[in-house]
């Protein structure tokens, strides 16, 4: 059963502000219409799940308060929403089960300086790791994997020094790990 859940709050004024938006189980949804999510500039949490035909998410450029973005099982999605680099408060980015995702612009991840948790998995057409991870001074948790199935070794990437938890999710043909991952003696949790 499709679910559209809104969480509204009423600050001291008489205006109602949209804080959370959850869109789930809409099998025929192809796009979130309009020219971007224009009105709810106060949005803090956006979750889009189980929308297999979703092809586009509007620009997030005006969502400066967005703290969490979860996109899961959206098979038609080929790229991360534009404007995400403007989400300066984004602490959690989770993109899971988007098999047609082919684009994750290099500058996207490295500009998200408030990011604490990054999860990118089960995106079968994504062929590379995000660049600029070492510049994320707050990143404490990272779960990445199950990208391009033909990958036989994980490309070298810089592990952020403050990382506390690292999950590498399997690749069927993987034969080796980069040396910097093997040398992580100080990482509290290696899975």
- Domains defined along the chain, listed by start: 1-191 (3.80.10.10)
Q: Is 172 helix (H, G, I), strand (E, B) or coil?
A: coil
- Picking from 87, 134, 79, the residue whose alpha carbon sits closest to that of residue 112 is 87
pLDDT in tens, 17-61: 788 889 999 899 888 765 445 556 788 999 999 999 998 887 888
Q: Is 109 helix (H, G, I), strand (E, B) or coil?
A: helix
The low-confidence residues of the chain, meaning pLDDT below 50, are 9-10, 14, 35-36, 190-191
Query: pTM value?
Result: 0.82
Alpha-carbon span 191 to 61, nearest angstrom: 34
Token pair belonging to 91: 């602490």
Q: Is 179 helix (H, G, I), strand (E, B) or coil?
A: helix
Q: Is 17 helix (H, G, I), strand (E, B) or coil?
A: strand
* Per-residue pLDDT at 165: 87
Residue recorded with tokens 């979860």: 70
Token pair belonging to 40: 């709810």
């Amino acid at each position: 059963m499709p679910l559209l859940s809104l969480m509204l709050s009423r600050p001291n004024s008489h205006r109602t502000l949209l804080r959370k938006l959850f869109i789930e189980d809409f099998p025929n949804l192809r796009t979130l219409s309009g020219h971007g999510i224009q009105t709810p500039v106060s949005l803090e949490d956006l979750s889009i799940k189980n929308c297999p035909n979703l092809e586009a998410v509007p620009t997030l450029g005006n969502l400066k308060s967005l703290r969490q973005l979860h996109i899961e099982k959206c098979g038609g999605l080929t790229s991360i929403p534009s404007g995400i680099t403007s989400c300066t408060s984004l602490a959690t980015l989770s993109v899971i089960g988007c098999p047609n995702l082919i684009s994750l612009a290099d500058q996207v991840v490295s500009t998200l300086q408030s990011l604490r948790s990054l999860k990118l998995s089960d995106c079968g057409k994504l062929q590379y790791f995000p660049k600029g991870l070492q510049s994320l001074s707050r990143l404490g948790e990272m779960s990445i994997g199950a990208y391009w199935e033909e990958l036989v070794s994980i490309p070298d990437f810089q592990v952020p020094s403050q990382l506390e938890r690292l999950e590498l999710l399997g690749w069927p043909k993987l034969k080796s790990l980069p040396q910097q991952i093997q040398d992580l003696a100080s990482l509290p949790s290696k899975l």
